[in-house]
């Protein structure tokens, strides 16, 4: 019974390609996030959606475009991949403030992206 799942787990691709990562949560949470973790383990927020609405958009190149078809899914599409995009991308979700706390974020297993 996976709470937050991501596909694919590993993604190896060449520079210039376009790729997507999918995330799904079955926790009934309202808020979902995308994080990037670099090779030094530094975890940085990229985007957050609440009930399909974008609410956090950090300084991320516009080659990255999140999409939330419904509140249980948040996908990340990356255009024109660059070497510097190589990292582990984590999806996370958190409950509505009335039902919990939004810093109680539950992370998926990550997608390891390697751009060659």
Partner 1 sequence: QKEVEQDPGPLSVPEGAIVSLNCTYSNSAFQYFMWYRQYSRKGPELLMYTYSSGNKEDGRFTAQVDKSSKYISLFIRDSQPSDSATYLCAMSARNTGTASKLTFGTGTRLQVTL
Q: Closest CB to partner 1 among 19 and 106?
A: 106
> How far, in Å, CA of 92 to CA of 95, rounded?
11
* Start-to-end Cα distance in the chain: 34
Q: Closest CB to partner 1 among 14 and 39?
A: 39
Smallest gap from Cβ 79 to partner 1, in A, equals: 25
> How far, in Å, CA of 82 to CA of 36, rounded?
14
Smallest gap from Cβ 69 to partner 1, in A, equals: 18
Footprint of partner 1 on this chain (CB under 8 A)? 4, 30-31, 33, 40-45, 48, 50-51, 55-56, 90, 92, 94, 96-97, 101-110
Q: Closest CB to partner 1 among 80 and 101?
A: 101
> How far, in Å, CA of 36 to CA of 47, rounded?
10
Q: Closest CB to partner 1 among 14 and 70?
A: 70
- Going by their DSSP bridges, the two strands 64-70 and 73-78 should be labelled as antiparallel
> How far, in Å, CA of 18 to CA of 51, rounded?
26
Smallest gap from Cβ 11 to partner 1, in A, equals: 15
Smallest gap from Cβ 87 to partner 1, in A, equals: 14
């Amino acid at each position: 019974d996976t709470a937050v799942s991501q596909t694919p787990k590993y993604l190896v691709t060449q520079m210039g390609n376009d790729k997507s990562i999918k995330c799904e949560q079955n926790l009934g949470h309202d808020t979902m996030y995308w994080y990037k973790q670099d090779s030094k383990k530094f975890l940085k927020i990229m985007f957050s959606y609440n009930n399909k609405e974008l609410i956090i958009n950090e300084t991320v190149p516009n080659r990255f475009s999140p999409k939330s078809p419904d509140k249980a899914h948040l996908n990340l599409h990356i255009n024109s991949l660059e070497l510097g995009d190589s990292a582990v991308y984590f999806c996370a979700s958190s409950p509505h403030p009335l039902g919990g706390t939004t810093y109680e974020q539950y992370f998926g297993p990550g997608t390891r992206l390697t751009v060659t």
